[in-house]
Amino acid sequence: MEELRESSIHHTALKFSEDVKQMKIYNNLYKTVQKLACSPEVCKDDMKNTLELAMKKHGLETEIRNIVFHLIRTSIKSDVKFSMQATDPLNYLRRAGVQWERRVRKSLNTMSAELKTTLQGQVRNQQEKEELQAKWAELSNFQVDLSNYRPVYAPKDLLEVLISLKGPASQKHDDDGVIPRWEFSHISLPVRNLQELRTVFSELLRNEMTVTDWSVTCERILTTRHAPLCQQILKKGLTPTQLRGKIWSIVLGSELEEHHREYWDQLKTTVLSTDSIVDKLVFKDVQLTATNDDQYFVFEDVIYQVMLCFSRDSEIADMIKTDWLNTSKLKQYETPPNNIVPFHGICMFASPFCYLFDSPIALYYTFRAFYVRYCHRLTTINTHNQGIVSLCLLFEKLLQTHEPILWSHFRELQIQPIRVVFKWLMRAFSGHLHPQELLILWDLILGYDSLEILSLLAIIILSFRKESLMQVSTIESIEAVLADLSSIKVLPLVQLALSRD
């Protein structure tokens, strides 16, 4: 038994070291080790021990540990392998995922054909290229005619699809259509209950330190540059503002390296030299959202840069590769290099990072890592335990169990509660909460490595506005009660909800 485990660890280690060799940082890492091996600190008679010691001393050990940490994190797929076994009750969900993906790709392709533009990018004419280059730092002054462009889809389009999801269970006993069917309860995805969430988020309730002590502790932890420790900081929800950017980039493994800059320049060059319909959609999206947002408008030029480079980044396509996306049904449609069809509000995932990073490059890589790990699950139909379907189900179950009065109020009004919170969930509250509060919420997402906090916060907000919600009876007035979240303080609300019985 012991032997078996040994050998399995050995195999895993071998696999990871092969993986590391494929990484961009490997070359530099290897060179540094080589240099160390030649230094007087390393003795050739006791190579193994002295080299290890030297690596520890020069911080290489932490770096390697972090690399392994990120490798393990990204290689664990809680998404069950796509099996087309007819018995799997979730197959219809996967089919719906493919269908949705196919639909948005198709509509992007149709738009592209109608407007006679290309998706993969045609060579930009010299004049436009020069103008774009000259205005790179002030893209808001780059004039594009956007009158014919519309966002490919918006939160409500995805919501309609989700609500109409029909599982095998719901087909059996079809309601007579008087009361809208409860949307997600028929989906057999496992979600946590409040008691389990309390255990998961228990760190949030243990706050015995004073703020100054805490920020000193955080700084000390930050000097170790140890990713799991930094992640631990975020769990408190008390991340010092001045350290947040650094902590996030360590936790996400997105600290700037030389190869990052090179690749950014490459992306920028591609944007300048090729023209794509996605560019127009990026401009359209920024203009519809960030430009008009009193929290983010000052950063609009940075957001243009980031989103344009994002669209050209084929590494993203590799990072989000899931088995079912490779089906032949999808291959007939072209996609932008990053494989992501932009939708209404996609730039709001990048906007909050403007409060953390001055440099667009540093901003880009941390945003990208965050998007790949979390955001994309919010815009695709998937069976992941933190995918949008699971979050909707979690929201629904929590509301039903813990706010039965609200639940029946919604039921009487024949309003599906998910309708009033869906845009919060799909955008991870970006553009809804005040930036300061949003960053705390995203601290928690990163700290607990979980999007479940989104559903929980949605419940909490409904619960705190219950009195007002109970007084109104149309979806418009419900939306009015919930429109302004600027007074919501994330941490005390979540703490209160988790601590009370």
Partner 1 sequence: MAYDNSKRANASSLSTMYGRITHNENSRMMKICFCSDMDKSVLLNNFDKRGWMQVTADDDWNFYWAGTQTCRNIFSVDSGYRMHDNQIINHFPNHYELSRKDLLVKNIKRYRKDLERDGSALAEKVNDGGINGPKYLYLDFIPVTFVLPADYNMFVEEYRKNTQSTWIMKPTGKSQGAGIFLINKLSKLKRWSREAKTSFHPAIGKESYVISRYIDNPLLIGGKKFDLRLYVLVTSFRPLKAYLFKLGFCRFCTVKYDTSVTELDNMYVHLTNVSVQKHGGEYNNLHGGKWSVQNLKLYLEGTRGKKVTEKLFGGINWLIVHSLKAVQPVMASDRHCFECYGYDIIIDNNLKAWLVEVNASPSLTSTTVNDRILKYKLIDNILNIVLPPDGIPDVRWNKIPSAENLGNFELLIDEELASQTQEDNILGSMTTGKQRINNRWK
Residues that bind partner 1 (CB under 8 A): 137-138, 140-141, 240-242, 244-245, 291-295, 297-302, 354-358, 434-436, 439, 464-465, 467-468, 471, 481-482, 484, 487-489
Q: Per-residue DSSP letters for 284-310? A: HHHHHTGGG-TTTGGGHHHHHHHHHHH
Pairing between β-strand 274-275 and β-strand 122-123 as defined by DSSP bridges: antiparallel
Count helices and strands in the chain by DSSP H and E runs: 26, 2
Nearer to partner 1, 398 or 439 (CB): 439
Smallest gap from residue 227 Cβ to partner 1 (A): 20
Calpha distance 448→446 (Å, rounded):
6
Nearer to partner 1, 33 or 288 (CB): 288
Nearer to partner 1, 141 or 266 (CB): 141
Nearer to partner 1, 23 or 144 (CB): 144
- 465 and 482 in contact (C-beta within 8 Å)? yes
Smallest gap from residue 218 Cβ to partner 1 (A): 11
Residue carrying the six token digits 């004419």: 125
- 356 and 243 in contact (C-beta within 8 Å)? no
Q: How many residues can be counted in the chain?
A: 501
SS3 annotation, 181-232: CCCCCCCCCCCCCHHHHHHHCHHHHCCCCCHHHHHHHHHHHHHHCCHHHHHH
Please, where are the H alpha helices in 58-153? 60-75, 91-114, 126-134
Nearer to partner 1, 244 or 284 (CB): 244
Calpha distance 120→276 (Å, rounded):
6
Smallest gap from residue 485 Cβ to partner 1 (A): 9
Backbone angles phi, psi at 420, to 5 degrees: -85, -15
Nearer to partner 1, 165 or 478 (CB): 478
Smallest gap from residue 409 Cβ to partner 1 (A): 16
Backbone angles phi, psi at 122, to 5 degrees: -105, 165
Smallest gap from residue 480 Cβ to partner 1 (A): 8
Smallest gap from residue 493 Cβ to partner 1 (A): 8
Calpha distance 187→390 (Å, rounded):
9
Smallest gap from residue 478 Cβ to partner 1 (A): 12
Burial of 395 (0-12, 13-18, 19+ CB in 10 A): buried
Nearer to partner 1, 191 or 460 (CB): 460
Nearer to partner 1, 13 or 496 (CB): 496
Nearer to partner 1, 184 or 248 (CB): 248
Nearer to partner 1, 285 or 293 (CB): 293
Smallest gap from residue 309 Cβ to partner 1 (A): 17
Q: Report CA 143 to chain centroid distance, whole Å.
A: 30
Structure tokens at 334: 């072209």
Helix (H) / strand (E) containing 122:
strand 122-123
Nearer to partner 1, 130 or 219 (CB): 219
- 78 and 385 in contact (C-beta within 8 Å)? yes
Smallest gap from residue 277 Cβ to partner 1 (A): 25
Smallest gap from residue 358 Cβ to partner 1 (A): 4
- 194 and 406 in contact (C-beta within 8 Å)? no
Smallest gap from residue 470 Cβ to partner 1 (A): 10
- 470 and 409 in contact (C-beta within 8 Å)? yes
Of the candidates 237, 295, 305, 304, the one whose C-alpha atom is nearest the C-alpha of residue 431 is: 295
